[in-house]
Amino acid sequence: MPSLVPRDHLPNAISLNTIMFQTASVVGPSLGGVLIAASGVGWVYVANAISFGFVIVALLMMRDVPPRSPSEAGSRDDVSLHAALEGLRFVFRSPLIRSTMLLDFFATFFSSATALLPIFAQDILRVGAGGYGWLYAAPAVGAVATSAAMVPLTDRIERRGRTLLWAVAGYGLATVVFGASRSFWLTFACLAMTGATDTVSMIIRNIVRQLETPDRLRGRMTGVNMVFFIGGPQLGELEAGTVANWLGAPFSVISGGVGCILATAWVASSTPALRRYRKEIAQSHKAGRQEGREAGIQ
């Protein structure tokens, strides 16, 4: 994405991309359910294959992609141990990049509350399958609404680092209230709030990573980030289920939310660069890299 849009428009582009992602996560399963009911499971796979065809066609139709600078053209982009280690070194030596990935991991590890939603719907709230469907959709509802609101607001956020920290802390707090709630609508609101705060966090995390990573290392950084992005929720569901089995589902959710808040406080206290990260800092870093590229070309 940073190679396809001007850097000044990157925050809004990331917001729009998040809207598409969140909308697809709501519309896709809904259409899949309708198609299963109407035609059977097999046609869902056919539709999925056709959808990949549209992606391939869109990629083939892309034109005027900016060429790589000479300094980047000579870099090795092959899949190798050297490339993986280079990405790891960059991530863990960059406080901003490292802290955003840790926040992503801690939030999804401690606050994977959706894995326990069937227990809450059946045994605690007693709302049945219909209520469970609404609760399961609540995070996506909050995420889609917030994504739409973030399109005009993203570029106006000056203190991006603090906004990111407050968003992750709000995610943990909403999880705590969800675990303690015995009201269906309060639970629905808390789950919607987790989707909303996660969306704000996701957008700002992506902005920080894309703007603070050199073009040559962006693919490597993204590869390392996928470990955190995929590993956090999977390990979090295991942790939530284990604690729920020992101490009950409400305790598992509440303790996970508290853990998320404590982890956010630790990242904030140990990474002053993230607390101080502002829009103008990102612009100055961007200008410095642009001057460096132009000097290399000359």
Per-residue model confidence as pLDDT tens digits over 135-189? 888 888 898 888 888 877 777 888 889 999 999 999 999 999 999 999 999 999 9
Return all residues near 75 (Cβ < 8 A) that are at least 6 apart: 216
Q: How many domains does the chain have?
A: 1
Residue 165's closest CA among 255, 91, 275, 280? 275
Number of residues in the chain: 298
Per-residue model confidence (pLDDT) at position 117:
87
Q: What is the per-residue pLDDT for 294?
A: 45
Residue 2 covered by a domain: no
Question: In terms of C-beta density within 10 A (0-12 exposed, 13-18 middle, 19 or more buried), how is residue 177 classed?
Answer: middle
What's the mean pLDDT when you consider all of the chain? 81
Q: Is 68 helix (H, G, I), strand (E, B) or coil?
A: coil
Tokens of 116: 């326990």
If you average pLDDT over residues 115-127, what whole number do you get?
A: 88
* Matching residue, tokens 């045994």: 123
The rounded distance, in Å, linking the Cα atoms of 285 and 140 is: 34
Do the domain assignments include residue 79? no
Quick count: other Cβ atoms within 10 Å of Cβ 79? 8
* Residue 282 CA: distances (Å) to CA of 48, 79, 94, 221, 290: 39, 30, 14, 18, 12
**73 within a domain of the structure (yes/no):** no
Tell me, what's the pLDDT at 139?
87
Q: Kindly state whether residue 265 falls inside one of the protein's structural domains.
A: yes
Contact 224, 101 (CB under 8 A): yes
Among the residue ranges 111-125, 151-165, 245-259, 279-293, the one predicted with the least confidence is 279-293
Q: Is the pLDDT of residue 231 over 80?
A: no
Could you tell me the CA-to-CA distances from 226 to 32, 89, 148 in Å, in that order?
26, 16, 25
The residue among 112, 126, 202, 107 whose CA lies nearest residue 164 is 202
| Residue-range definition of the domain harbouring residue 32 | 7-60+94-297
209 within domain boundaries: yes
Work out the pLDDT band at 252, boundaries 50, 70, 90: very high
Q: Is the pLDDT of residue 11 over 80?
A: no
Task: Give the confidence band of 266 by pLDDT, cuts at 50, 70, 90.
Answer: very high
Question: What are the tens digits of pLDDT across the range 30-82?
Answer: 677 777 778 888 888 888 889 888 889 888 887 776 665 555 544 445 566 77
Which CATH number belongs to the domain containing residue 193 in this structure? 1.20.1250.20
Is residue 65 assigned to a domain? no
Biggest CA–CA distance in the chain, Å, is 69
**Is residue 285 in a domain?**
yes
pLDDT of 296 reads 45
Q: Can you give the pTM of this predicted structure?
A: 0.76
Task: Return the pLDDT at 26.
Answer: 67
Q: Which two tokens stand for residue 20?
A: 């598409």
Q: Give CA–CA dist 199/139, Å, rounded.
A: 10
Cα 204 to Cα 210: distance, rounded to the nearest angstrom: 10
Question: Does 70 map to a domain?
Answer: no
